[in-house]
Structure formats: structure tokens, C-alpha cells
Structure 1
Amino acid sequence: MPQPHGTARLDHVSAFAPADLARLFTAIEHCVLVHDARTKNILWANPAACAALGFTLDELIPLKAPDMSSRARPYRRETGVAWLQRAVDEGVSTVEWCYRSKDGQDIWSEARAIRVDLARGPVVMVQFRDIAEEKATRRDLSRTEGRLQAFLRNLDEGIVVLDDDGRVLFASESAVNLLGRDPGALAAADFAAFLAPDSAAVLQELLATAGGHGGQPTDGRYRLAISGAEDTTADRWFAVRCQYIDIQHDLRGLLLLFHDITATVRAEEEHRRDAQYLNHLARYNAMGDMAMAIAHEVSQPISAAHNFVAGVRGRLDRDDSADGQLNWGLEAATRQLDRAAQILRSLRAYVVRLEQSQQRVDLNDIVADCTYFIDVRARQHSVTLRWERTDEPLPVHCETVLIGQVVMNLAFNAIEEMADWPPEQRTVEVRTDRQGDFAEVCVVDAGKGLADLHVDRIFDGAFSSKGNGHGIGLALSHRIITRHGGEIEAADNTPRGAAFRFRLPLAESSP
């Protein structure tokens, strides 16, 4: 049988007077009930128990379990008696018991029964305390934990915490699913081993400086290497937010919040391929426009030179003494051939610039480079051009050839629009100006305008005002301008005609 409680070192208790012991018992804040070990009747209760149950000591002593316990099945008299008997037999017994106060209020408590051997015989001392708030708190915590677990399981975002060496301290269920790893393989694993070499190097650098970040989050992209896959296109990409955390010294390390952006990255790669194809298409479109203009322009000086040379040959056949006239004819032929050479040099310079990448340039200079070719097209259709270029610099970052192609495309469209109007009305105006933080080019004609057209569909590739056109020039122009961070629009002109304008961010205000 276990050693009874209360038999050891009772000599120390005798040092207290009975009145002092009474005061000590009275000061105890825990509720105390003393039961007879044999009958289980209440022998005594301290003031805290009387106050909690709402009974006086005289009222409390004759009560039985049904009078002061919940009537719920788990708290029946036989259950309470069995609990007290375990304390008699084993020395100590603890249960969660629901007492009921005099006014019928349930008191949830943790009750601990201890056998104490007194001079009069053994008794069972029950100590209990109200745990209603704790029970409610535990219930709330359990409910919150359940909700959090459900949320974490269904999150699109993974959560991982790494120690200073980059090993996994914690991984949410959603992180396990996103990484496609077995939960056991993640525990204490080197997280960098799951990443492609370039992303692993970025993570190692971040780990080396994580403690000095002052809690400020950093964003990045990480590439997850698919094990056993030789094709890197099978890799997956994650957007990751990293932040160093220290939660009451319980969880300390680098917190990674990440979600899968593989579809976004692949869409961006597809967009880059489309942009490259756009550049390719725009450059060949530019060459086609140039070829038509040059074919017409070069044919004139070459024909003239041919005529001069033919005349010189005829004179030589008829009169060997006509040196002066022969020299004049040869010089004239040479000038015409020089003119043709100059045209070809201009074309060659343009072609060389086709391969230039984005650079800082004055938009006025791009328009000036296009002037010659636009003039050629205007002369073909007897259209008068008016140029109004601002004296203010318009520095922009752009691919000069592509922006030049947009200028020429808008100007050629305006010239062809005016070709069927009476000669005296055939005018096209090309202007440059500064509009706030943007450089603007505006091409204005005096044609039939846009009144009968769907203005919102002009740049979608389905619009053309030409009988044999397909509208691809405006669609390309729209893509070129928007890819440079600019905007392009069309509007009716006053009193008639249309105005096409595009704007590019000035270099000093560009990101």
C-alpha cells in the first residue's frame, strides 16, 4: 500500500498554534473539501469552497454528490464515490469534475483527491479550482488550431522555415505539395539542394545576410530543379518572399512564403519570343517599305546617267573633236551616279541600324532620319508635307529603327489616305512635341477621318482604310509603342481628317 500522505515531518506542524493553522487554511485560495475516507461524507470545507459553491459550512456538511454536482451522467454519485475511493486506495486521484453551486451554476474544475491520515483516522482532502476559462481557452485553441491546419492544407502558398544553415525547421503541408517531396524528405533537409544552381546561390547569399535584414522582407524568384529531368523547361518557378523571424526564441530562422508561378514565367518567355518575332517582322516590314521607295528613287538617276552616257557615245561616234560637250556629259552622268550611290549609302546606314538595341536618343532625330523616305512617298502621290518639330530635346530610351518604322507607317498611311483627294487638298502634317513627361509624335491628315470606324479596334489588327490593306501596320505599331512603355491613339481632326499620335516616356522620367 502506498505511503499515506501527511505522516512525514509532522513535528514541524506542531510549531504552529491551532489558531495560526486555522488562519493558514482560511487564506488558501484553492477550494478544499474534506471527506471521511470510509463514508465519503463531507467533514469540512474552507471559506474558498463555501464561497464558490454558495453554501455555508453548515449547509455543505450534510450534502451528497447529487446535491452539489452536475446531474450529467459523468458526474453521478457512484462515479464520485469511486474517484474518492481511488484516493483512499492509491493515495492520490485526479479528475475533471463539474460541481454545481447553490444557485444552479455549473463549476468546471480540476479536482485532486489526496488521502491524509489524521489522528481521528484517514480522510480524503479534495482540492479543486474553477477551470471554466481554461476549458474555454483550450476549446478555442483547439478550434483555432483545427482551422489553421485546414487553411494550411488548402493554401496555394507554401510555408517553410530554414535555420542558419539552410536546413528545414518547419514545412507546411501546402509546401510539401508544392515542392512535390515526401514529408520525411523535407525534415532537416538542405533546402538549397532542391533548387537549380542559380537559385541555390541566391538563397545561400540571402542566408548569409538574413540576420542583418532587420525583419524587412525580400522578394525573389527561385527555380525548382525537377529531379532526373534533363530538360530545364520541366523545372518549376516560385515567387518567394523571405523574412527573418524570431518568435519568442521558439522558432528562429528564415521564413519563406512561396507560390508557383511556372505558368507566369512561361507566359513571359512566350511574350519575349513574341517580342523577338515582332522585331523581326517590323524590321522586314521596314525593309519592304524602303525597297519600294528606293526602287522608284534610284531608277531616276540611273536612267538619267544611262541617257548621258548613251549621248556621249553617240557624239564620239560622230565627232571626235567635241571634247567640251563630252566632258560635260560625263560629268553629268557622274553626278547622277553619285546621287544613286548616296541613296544606296542612306539605305545601307538604315539597314545597319536595324540591329541596334535600345538606346538613348532624341525623338526629333528619329523623325529627321525618316524625313527622306517620307518625302519620297509624298512626292509619288503629290502630297504636301508640313514638318513642325519642336526645338526642345525629346530624349527617350528606345530601339530607334522600330520607332522610326512607326513614324513612317503612320506617315505612309496618312499620305495614301490623301492620294485620292484633289491635289490642292493633299496635305499631311508631322509634329513633335513634349507633353508632360512624354515625348509625342503626331501625324495629321485632312482625309475622311474616323467617324464611321470603330476607333477602339483600330490597333487590333482588323482595321484598314485601304482597299487592299489588312491593318497589320497599325497592329505592329501598337505593339512596338506599348512594349516601349508608351501609348498610341487615333482621333478625328478638326475640321476633317484624322490625327494619329504616339507618346514615349522621356528618358529622365523612365524607370
Structure 2
Amino acid sequence: MDHNDIEEQDCLLLVDDHPTALSMLQLVLANKPYRLVTASNGQEAIRQAKYHRPALVLLDIMMPDMDGFEVCERLKADADTADSAVIFLSAVDDSQVKVRGFSVGAVDYVNKPFSGAEVVARVETHLRTKHLEDRLARKNSQLEAQNQRILESINEGIIGTDRDGRITLINGAAEQLTGWGNQSLMDKTVGSIFEASDRLIIQQLINQGQSFVSETIDMLTANQKTFPISLSITPTRYRGEIEGAVLVFRDITEQLAQDDALNKAAEELKEQRERLAHIERLSTMGEMTAGFAHEVNQPLTAISNYARVCERFANKLENPPERLIETLQKMEKQALRASEVIQRLRDFVKRPVDGRALYAPNELVLEIVQLAEVDARNNGVQIHLDLRLDDALVFVDPIQIQQVALNLIRNGLEAMSDSAERDLGLWVTGVIRGDTVQISVRDRGVGLAEGAENELFNPFYTTKKNGMGIGLSVCKTIIKDHQGNIGYRREQSGGTTFWFDLPLADEETQQ
């Protein structure tokens, strides 16, 4: 026999109440690579087995006080000795005795008187079998441990089921994601972790052995809360028959949040691009306006000069025509006025080189009201001023602040163009409130549309037929950039008041 298949120093427990039989067993096995331990009764056999943990027990059946059957039963019932193989020795050659011996856990049966060669052969055979089983069990244990480590190292949740959808395997990630412990989910149906609307479909897929992939589906936690997952179901088969299924899933809550944030960012980028395109067009229009103002201002100056020359010629006549002289004077005056309007328009669209500086808000408002007089006449509305700003100073970009004021004034004038109360005029007021200057524009128009509150200062929102919807948005950006605030209020007597405030220049800024 090849002893390489038998582990060195296997312990054998020899149990017999007859000293002669016990000596014969020792003699037969004396030259073999075993460690022999003996016992002369059942109680002693149990104690020795508990202490030595024998690989194999040669056990006599017919013993006083405790027979071999009871000894075998007690050995198999004890976790420390349950793995010991038992071969019964008996002089009783009865099939019922043999059947009982196998039923209590024995692996073999040797009749007395026994042949030494037979005993050795059976011992070697069963030890070899036991060693193979032990190695197989260890290998299976190692493989199970390795598989479990692999399962635990995977971030995705993995659940195995039988054909009926009953859970037979679950890894740590699945436990953590679902909030269930291993023992509480084992043997439950997989449908218990899905909502009722999906439960039946998933159960049918498993029963029918069909594959399934879903990018988004809801799963239930232990406390019945839902969370989104991506899910794949793969059937498992044994010899062509459906055995169950493996479910692999991943929590996509964060992914969906990122996708949502990405979509919002894309929308914001689109809006920013559209806004920049509008601003670029406005910038181009400003440059064109500056060129237009330059071109128009020259002929206006020429008209004024020609009118003045004609007036001189008329005055040199013997009888100067008064009506003609008066008309020429009016012509010169209106040409100069038109030239001043054009000059103010040029100044408005041209940003000063020095940017922000100290300015008196009274002067800024007065200049912009003069620029708005044409709109006021076209809309048939008079502009009233109530400026109580004393010697206040603000540190601002004047063109930007005038842009805000002009936008609010023009909006108010347009709102009153068809109003029955336009004779009351548009009021522009300026007051000091604490450490801020507040400019208000009060109109008597039809008022704001319902629901406009949430959209009023958003880009490209407009209630005007030909409006672009960027005026108030730009105004808000400018005022916020100057550390100020902008807002509005509905007036109970009708119309709307738009206002903005700016911080007064502190002493350090004024120095």
C-alpha cells in the first residue's frame, strides 16, 4: 500500500472488553504508522475519544453497561468526535445487527474472529477515504471562503435565489444597500425587496429562467424605503435545468443626482451662451450707436452754424424780418438741443476708462432723465423728480448705474402709455435710507402680470411684445455687483414701483 495517501500518526481507538481481542488488534496494527489508544468499556472509550480525537474507532458491539451502538451514537452526537470513523467488531453475524450499526453512524463491519490482513485493509481503506473527504472538505471550505471574500470585495450587491425565487445567497454589499442582515433575508423571496408593481414580474423572470437588465428600478430597504438601482438578472442552470438566478445590482442614487446636476449645468451653460450672444449683440449695437452719434452730431453742428450765419445776414438787412430771425433762432436752439441729446447718448454707451469712481447720485439721475425725455414725449407721460439726496456720494460705474435707471424709467413710461392715469406722470425719487441711497421709479400703469414675481429678474423673461427679456436681468446683475439690492412692489392705488439701492461711499473711499 502507498502510505503517502495516509497521514502520519493517525490516531486509532481500539475498544473491546476482552483483553485477548484487544491485544490481537494491537498486534495486528503495531507495525503500521498509527498511534494506538485502547479502551476496555464504553465509558472509557468516550473519554479517550474526547481527549485524543481519533481518526478511526474499532469498536466492539457486545460490551457490558454500554454497548457499541450507544457508544457510536454518543460519539456522533458530540461535535468533537463526530468526524471519527467507526468500524464495528462483532461475533454476531446478523443482517439486522449490521443494519443497526450503519444506522447509528458506522462506516463498516468486521466479523469476529477477524483476519489481521482484513482488518488492516479495511482500516487503510477507510482512513484513505476519510483523508480524501477531509481534504475535499478543506478544499471546499477554502473555495467557499475565497468565493465569500470575492463576493464581499465586490461593490455591487449580489443575491442568489433558487427557482422559486427564495434567497439562498447574499453578499455584504447587498446587505448594506438593503439594510437587511444575512439571516433576516435568507430564505425570504426576492420579491420582498421590490415594490409590489415589480415583484410579480421579477418572480416570473426567475421562474422562467429569463435574463433581464434594467438601468433604473426601485428596490426596498428593510424599513420599506425605496432607492434606485441598476439591475441584471441571470438564470443559473444545472444539467440544462433551471436552478435559480443571480441578481446583481448597484445603487445609482448618486449617479442620478450627478446626471441631474449635469443636465442642470448644461441648461445653465446653454442659457449663459444665449445671454452672452444677446450681450454681444447689445455691445455691437452700442458701438454702432456711438458711430451713429458721431456721424449725426456733425450735420447737427453744421445746421446750427448755418442758422447762426443766416441770422447775422438777416440782422444786416434794413428791415430785419423778425419772424425769420425768430425762426432761425429756434432752428439753432433745436439743433443744439439735438446735438446735446446725441452727446449724452454717446456718453451713455461709452464706458469711462477709469471705471468706478465717486459720483453724486443726484447728477446721475438728472442726466439720465434728460436722456429719457424723448421717450416721455413719445408716450405722452411727464417725468417728475423728487430727489432728496443732499450731498450724498456713491462709488459706482456711472454708465452702469444710469443704464439701470434708464431701463426702469423706460419700462415705467411704456407701462403708462395706454394708462388712463398717465396724466399723473412718472415719479422718480431719491432718498437716503440709513447707509444706502435708494432710487425709486413709480408708474401708474396696468401693473405686473400674475405670476410674474418668480420670473421677473430671470434672463429672457418678458411681457413685452417685442422685448428680449434681458433688461431687468442685467439690472439685477449690475446692482448686485455694486453690493446693492433691487426690487419692486405692487401699489394698492395701481401701478408698480421699482427701486434699487446703493451703499453710500464710506469715509475711506471718499479720501
Tell me if TM exceeds 0.5. Answer: no
Q: Which of 1 and 2 has greater Rg? A: 2
Q: Give the TM-score normalised by the residue count of structure 2.
A: 0.43
